[in-house]
Chain A
Amino acid sequence: MNPLEHPHWHAGSRQLTCVAKQAETWQGDTLTAATLVLQDLASPCRFAFLPGQYLLIGTELAGKPVQRAYSISSSPAQTDRLAITVKRVAGGRLSNYLLDALQPGMTLSAQPPQGHFHLPATLPDQVVLLSGGSGISPMLSMTRALLASDYAGTVHFIHSAKRREEVIALAWLLDTAARHRQLRLSLQLSEPASELPGLPGRLSAETLAALLPDLQGVEFFLCGSDRYLAGVRALLAHPRYAGLPVHQEAFDLGAQPQDPTPQAQGHRITVPAFDKVVALQGDEPLLAALEREGLPIIGACRTGVCGSCKCRVLAGEVHSQSSLPLSPEEQAQGYVLACASRAASDLTLALN
């Protein structure tokens, strides 16, 4: 793909066209979950994200703007398009619109991929993915990425749902688990289906212990409703799991309105070394504003992994979604990643 014609998308909103809509689950005649493949047809771009991150999707419903976060379910290896998987939510206006009304060819506005729930730079020996309901979406992206890489560890894919018919991407999961020994698939259903992999019944302390006999090098990744997460966190509170890293994403992000412009609006960045004052627009990361002003800063990965955009906060407060590549000393000195930090007040920055 020509990078000149197809730039990497890292800032600003885009109009994405739904180029395919694939039914995932049905309840009777009602579509209850679907995967939407999105592409910018008007102004093609390359998508870059870390598996686990989400998109903010928006449209106008009844004359009012609506915006929700949806985890990306496709593989980051596919850069010209990406997919989100949407599940029907009671009262979820945007989700239900996407399922009922959106047709291929229609467009949605979107903000660049973001979010701190993603695979870490250094992969653990065992990745344990625990999801409930539509919390499965980021897990699909992570699994696709892990299996396509030279990751040699084990992926435990432990998904909870009410019944077989509600499991999103079931056919893909069964087929992939059959072909990849490193993928251990367990489906924990309230209404068990004996032919599916996994231990019978809902996820309990006993099933989790049985699924994870060896905890060497385990890291947990949790995604689901608040209720699901509370349940899993209770299981992980057992001393057996003490000290093991846990990453989590509340999928209720998808059901609850998210204000895209919190306190950040109107904040300014002062860069004394360059005698510049930069106005932040909306909730944009610091990097976007610094680049707009032509200040010299390297933004290589733009997802909080590589560390090229680190800069030092001399005064003010930021909210950072990632500080992965920063050492504890650097963090103590006030270094943050410009691509993964947003202003919570006016700021004074040093670029190097």
Chain B
Amino acid sequence: MFCVQCEHTIRTPVATGCSYAMGMCGKTGEVSDLQDVLIYLLQGVSAYAVAARRFGLVDRAIDAWSCQAFFATLTNVNFDAERILAFIGEAQQARAKLKEGYEAACLAQGQQPEAMTGPAAVELTGEKAALLSWAPTAAVNRGKEQVSEDILGLRMLCLYGLKGAAAYMEHARVLGEQDDAIGAEYHEIMAWLGQDPADMNELIACAMRIGQMNFKVMALLDKGETDTFGHPSPVQVNIKPVKGQAILVSGHDLHDLQKILEQTVGTGIRVYTHGEMLPAHAYPELNKYPHLVGHYGTAWQNQQKEFAAFPGAIVMTSNCIINPDVGQYRDRIFTRSIVGWPGVCHIEGDDFATVIAKAQSLAGFPHDEIPAYTSTGFARNALMAAAPAVIDQVKAGHIRHFFLIGGCDGDKSERSYYTDMARAVPEDCLILTLACGKFRFHSFDYGDINGIPRYLDVGQCNDAYSAIQLAIALADAFGCGVNDLPLSLVLSWFEQKAIVILLTLLSLGIKGIRVGPTVPGFLTPNLLAFLQENFDLKLIGSVEQDLADMLAA
């Protein structure tokens, strides 16, 4: 295996990347290699999707499926070799179907079909052993003998960024939002990456294009969420359990949460959110269910202890899942959609009866704990509604600076930086946050500035879209550019959604972003220097120094 896509990847004195029998995430070499084969075939699917589109042939089912399959290879999503094998089979079928349509269209118009090469042309059997022996050809660092580390790094930056965007496309599609123009752009980029491009400028342009495309994807997802569930409004969420049987819903998929809430009405089961599902409480169409009682647990990397102590059923709707055998709750955890763990019950369709029956067979929480609260729901509309008051407070000198401290969490001790930073932010400054990194500092009481809360949870990682909208509105109000605002971005990354959000911010021209806890393993010193020079990208340093620098900027 060779995998370097997440922040946790092995770094030894001589090499970076998980390249032994198992990754740091617990993904076996076998699953990793099969995922490489799948991604390679997806590039072939995209090549034919691009060709077919030249004749106006758009297969929305295959477009949607492509993003699902790609999402399955994201960090901490699918560890099940059988599921990846099934995706590989489907990929070959999808490619054959597009090819047939394309060649028929060529024939009808008297054209010669284009001769396809690489991922579009490769013929593979469905045999696992054969696929594995072929896997090195599809490795993400293929061609390392021919091109420089910088080119390989850029290819991976693009591939991982596009993977993050594909995940958001799938989140949007679940809510009924699919955009053919974005689909076309996805396929163009995916097909191009399948040709192993080696021009540095073209690859950098591609990374920016992925960032811009993802801005549109996040807008689409925002539309899907707000059209379906209403505009979030700020709420207090109980982070302590209440008495009764329980289901815990983790991940990003609000649609699944809604179905579970609908199907548990009147059962007495209490539903809790976990991790990135926290912002769900702010959506009116979800918040209206009284049995959505609270939020349980903290960041994903603590799940093996927290799920072990959860006396109910657990549903993983997207990333992140980690080995359920450590905490011995395999029999009461369920996977959805693209998520998979060998031997764990996978729920197809929208019927959650199995999950409900499991929750009913379990004891649930024996008593109410004394409530404690966190807040969420400061998304686009709420922020815009508050913007005039915020602007007044800035003009009056009561708000000095905005800090956006967000991103994904992980278990490295260096990540205490983000807690320390949030705690150290001066009292005349606001903290905006999003994604799961906030669980390191969400439970403190930050107080308010003349009625404006100092801690504003914008939502999930994709709600970076709301934060960008706020920044644009503030810049308009102050008659300046976004980079001239008293706003500093301090991001933490773990997986590929964070990579694509970073690309989006960079492609929007936002400069001076601080990222940590470490440099992505696929970014070479040259690439890092490029990002530092062109985007003033900074690595996190000491809290005191960084804070002083940001306030002085």
Q: A150-B149, A273-B328, A296-B326 are in contact. Are A3 and B21 (CB under 8 A)?
A: yes
The residues in B between 297 and 327 inclusive whose CB is less than 8 angstroms from any CB of A are 304-305, 323, 325-327
Q: Look across to chain A and name the residue whose beta carbon is closest to the beta carbon of B13.
A: A119
Q: A4-B132, A51-B13, A300-B23 are in contact. Are A327 and B413 (CB under 8 A)?
A: yes
Q: In the complex, A35→B524 CA distance in Å?
A: 35
Known contacts A4-B132, A273-B328, A296-B325; A120/B13 CB under 8 A: yes
Interface residues of B in 2-48 (CB under 8 A from A): 10-15, 18, 20-26, 29-30, 33
A300-B22, A308-B22 are known; give 4 further A-B pairs, CB within 8 A.
A77-B15, A299-B22, A300-B21, A303-B12
Provide a sorted-by-A list of 17 A–B residue pairs whose CB atoms are within 8 angstroms. Answer: A3-B29, A4-B128, A7-B21, A118-B13, A119-B14, A122-B13, A145-B13, A146-B13, A150-B524, A150-B525, A274-B328, A296-B323, A298-B22, A306-B12, A308-B24, A352-B304, A352-B327
With contacts A3-B30, A5-B133 known, is A300 near B12, CB below 8 A?
no
B4 CB, nearest partner CB in chain A, Å? 13
Residue of B nearest to A302 (CB): B20
**What separation, in Å, do the CA atoms of A343 and B18 have in the docked complex?**
28
A1 CA / B305 CA spacing, docked (Å):
37
CB-CB under 8 A from A10, the residues of chain B are: 21
- Residues of B464-520 contacting chain A, CB below 8 A: none
Q: Chain B 87-121 against A: per-residue CB contact (8 Å), 1 yes, 0 no?
A: 00000000000000000000000000000000000
A8 within 8 A of B: yes
- Enumerate the 3 nearest inter-chain pairs by beta-carbon distance, A residue then B residue, closest first: A296-B325, A2-B133, A119-B13
Residues of A within 8 Å of B525, CB to CB, are 150
B61 sits at the interface (CB 8 A): no
Q: In the complex, how many residues of chain A place their beta carbon closer than 8 angstroms to a beta carbon of chain B?
A: 40
Q: Which residue of B lies closest to A308 (CB)?
A: B24
Q: Which of B121-180 contact A (CB under 8 A)?
A: 128-129, 132-133, 135-136, 149
A70-B10 Cα distance, complex, nearest whole Å: 26
- Is A305 within 8 A of B1, CB to CB? no
Contact B20 A300 (CB under 8 A): yes
Q: Contact between A3 and B1 (Cβ–Cβ < 8 Å)?
A: yes
When chains A and B are docked, how far (Å) is the Cα of A48 from the Cα of B135? 19
Mark contacts of B181-220 with chain A using CB atoms, 8 A cut-off: 1 yes-contact digit, 0 otherwise.
Answer: 0000000000000000000000000000000000000000
Q: A7-B21, A300-B22, A352-B326 are in contact. Are A123 and B13 (CB under 8 A)?
A: yes
Interface residues of A (CB under 8 A from B): 1-5, 7-8, 10, 48, 50-51, 76-77, 118-123, 145-146, 148-151, 273-274, 296, 298-303, 305-306, 308, 327, 351-352
Contacting residue for A51 out of B14, B29, B30, B149, CB 8 A: B14
Q: Looking at the assembled complex, report how far the CB atom of A297 sits from the nearest CB atom of chain B, in whole angstroms.
A: 8
Shortest beta-carbon distance from B340 to chain A in Å: 16
Q: Indicate if the CB atoms of B18 and A300 lie closer than 8 Å.
A: yes
User: In chain A, what residue has the closest Cβ to B305?
Assistant: A352
Q: With contacts A50-B13, A148-B14 known, is A302 near B21, CB below 8 A?
A: yes
In the complex, what distance in Å separates the CA atom of A10 from the CA atom of B20?
10
Report A-chain residues with C-beta under 8 Å of the C-beta of B524: 150
In the complex, how many angstroms separate the beta carbon of B11 from the nearest chain A beta carbon? 7
Question: In the complex, which residues of chain B have a beta carbon less than 8 angstroms from the beta carbon of A301?
Answer: 10, 12, 20
Contact A48 B20 (CB under 8 A): yes
Residue of B with least CB distance to A48: B20
Please give, as numbers and ranges, the residues of chain A lying within 8 Å of B23 by CB-CB distance.
Answer: 300
**Residue of B20, B22, B26, B135 ringed by the most chain A CB atoms within 10 A:** B20
Check A306 against B24 for contact (C-beta < 8 Å).
yes
Query: Please, what's the 1-or-0 string for B226-240, where 1 marks a CB less than 8 Å from any CB in chain A?
Result: 000000000000000
Contact present for A4 and B24 (CB under 8 Å): no
Question: Within 8 Å CB of A122, what residues of B?
Answer: 13
Chain B residues positioned under 8 Å from A5 (CB to CB): 129, 133
Question: Least Cβ distance of B457 to chain A in Å?
Answer: 29
- Give the shortest distance, in Å, between B461 (CB) and chain A (any CB): 25
Complex CA–CA separation, A352 to B325 (angstroms): 11
Question: Considering the chains assembled together, what is the distance between the CA atoms of A148 and B325 in angstroms?
Answer: 39
The residue in chain A whose Cβ has the minimal distance to the Cβ of B128 is A4
Pick from B15, B135, B326: contact of A351, CB below 8 A.
B326
Contacts of A352 in B (CB 8 A): 304-305, 326-327
State the Cβ distance, A23 to closest chain B Cβ, in Å.
Answer: 28
CB-CB contacts below 8 Å: B42-77 with A: none
B14 and A298 contacting across the interface, CB-CB below 8 Å: no
Residue of A274, A296, A305, A327 near B12 (CB, 8 A) is A305
Measured between C-beta atoms, what is the minimum distance from A128 to chain B in Å?
15
What's the Cα separation between A299 and B10 when bound, in Å?
11
Given A50-B12, A119-B14, A121-B13, are A4 and B22 also a contact pair (CB < 8 Å)? no
Per a CB cutoff under 8 Å, which of B20, B136, B149 touches A1? Answer: B136
For A3, list chain B residues within 8 Å (CB): 1, 21, 29-30, 33, 132, 135
**Min CB distance, B2 to chain A, in Å?**
11
Contacts of B29 in A (CB 8 A): 3, 8
Bound-complex Cα distance A302 to B18 (A): 11
**What is the chain A residue whose CB lies nearest that of B28?**
A3
The residues of B that contact A2 with a CB separation of less than 8 Å are 129, 132-133, 135
List of A residues within 8 angstroms of B13 by Cβ:
50-51, 118-123, 145-146, 149, 151
Chain A residues with CB below 8 A from B128, complex form: 4
Report Cα–Cα, A3/B37, bound state, in Å. 14
Chain B residues near A7: list those with CB within 8 A.
Answer: 21
Q: A8 to chain B: which residues have CB within 8 Å?
A: 20-21, 29
Q: Whole-angstrom distance from the CB of B419 to the nearest CB of chain A? A: 16
B248 to chain A, nearest CB (A): 19
Minimum distance in angstroms from A14 CB to a CB of chain B: 15
Q: Tell me if B18 and A76 are in contact (CB < 8 A).
A: no
A4, A149, A351: the one within 8 Å of B30 (CB): A4
| A139–B255 CA distance with the chains assembled, in angstroms | 58
For residue A296, give the distance in angstroms from its CB to the closest CB of chain B. 4
- Residues of A within 8 Å of B10, CB to CB, are 300-301, 305-306
Question: For residue B327, which residues in chain A have a CB less than 8 angstroms away from its CB?
Answer: 352
Among A7, A10, A150, the one with the most B-chain Cβ atoms within 10 Å of its Cβ is A150
- Closest chain B CB from A75 CB (angstroms): 8
List the A side residues contacting B20 at CB < 8 Å: 8, 48, 300-302
Which residues on B sit within 8 Å (CB–CB) of A303?
A: 12
CA distance A351 to B30 in the complex (A): 24
Closest residue to A119 on the B side, CB-wise? B13
Nearest A residue to B411, CB-CB = A307
The docked-state distance in angstroms from the alpha carbon of A217 to that of B488 is: 34
Chain A neighbourhood of B22, CB < 8 A: 298-300, 308
| Whole-angstrom CA separation of A48 from B524 in the bound complex | 23
A298 & B133 in contact (Cβ 8 Å cutoff): no
| Chain A residues with CB below 8 A from B129, complex form | 2, 4-5
Residue ID in chain A nearest B525 by CB atoms: A150
**Residue picked from B22, B29, B328, most chain A C-beta under 10 Å:** B22
